[in-house]
Chain A
């Protein structure tokens, strides 16, 4: 419905292009200039520097041996490193698990909180609390929850299974470490998606729901036929953002598992961080950064292309 309007504005716009003064053009430039300037200085420039470094053997602490250009050697080493591919697989695994969990829960909560009539403010704040907790604190708390053998998670497990399932070493087991991180990440971050969904839900006029109520449609039907389709743009946005966020997983892994056990929770950003900050090999680290960037870019383009087809239908 709004598509037609947009088309008409485009044509209206081009007709009134002649009405846009040089004054307007100037304003346009001035409005986007600060952002561009800052993005260039603080994002692009260091990134370009990083690319340059990726072709050298630069170390963290500059020494008497001059940094030299070594071409693609870093890249070759990375691509033949088993740890790198494991990290790649891990973030893919993580994304596949966390996206449905986190976004699904966020959508459900946003839906409930949107239609609430009583105690709106309090409940919204309540459910948003995990997100405002700094990751450092989140990891500390969840570390104790996952403690083996008598952390809270294990106590719950034993209670729920009536003692049949023994305590699990959550963060130390190759099978469960990643799911454990998925759970705590979803817990911490679902607030982000929930807020965006809330914003998107606000844009759906109440009258439509009221009309549906009168027509006798129940909650589920309303969700399926009103809410979900109207959230198309929001969903696309959320999917893209969450995917990129998931592929950049780092802090939890860095604090809780350091990529272990046996590399089952190693992520690409952690790989980058380890080789740079810990192993002190800046050139190598920069090369893996670039590879990560290309990977995410690729996934993003694929997502964008397939989803924009959806959007335009």
Chain B
């Protein structure tokens, strides 16, 4: 395997009903779902918890992921994290917040860009020359929607689809669970084509047919239209989903 993948892990926690000023971000918690809030520590702890936690079930016996969620670990600025040496931390209008990387693999916790791609994605050309695709009412794409948007998971009783609705612009994902054939390669979409399956208690979603126009974060980190994403959603307690996405992109990334 000479194409590199990138693993991102976050926690999708049930939205608390405690009153909060509109638009205010929840304060970074010390622990989420009984695991440390630092993404890599959370990821390892969540993998352990998932081995023993028995999730609630739907009427048809599937793990019941339904509910309203929002991410509790990620920040919007950069999936590679924000360090004190980043000048934007001192931005006078919108200072970035110090944050650990959300990337859990590779071990250096950086996106393994090919040489041409790094100067575009890593607070590079995308950030300095182009508008964030979201500003023109575009969809955040995958996985940015899950990283940044309040969302709702619905599992219709027929088990042939899982619906993932996002607050932003009526954006929704229809995840086919009935093994339908993939789309032809020529059809490229902002949110791609999602086909899901259950592996034990984990909802595994293959995402293909991506148009490569979306970013991971506000700083312009990206994948190309050759990317293939595998998302894994696992409940680790009644209110917390461990969300992991592996990004393969032969065109944009390389195994170091």
Partners in one complex: no
Give residues in A with beta carbon < 8 Å to B: none
Give residues in B with beta carbon < 8 Å to A: none
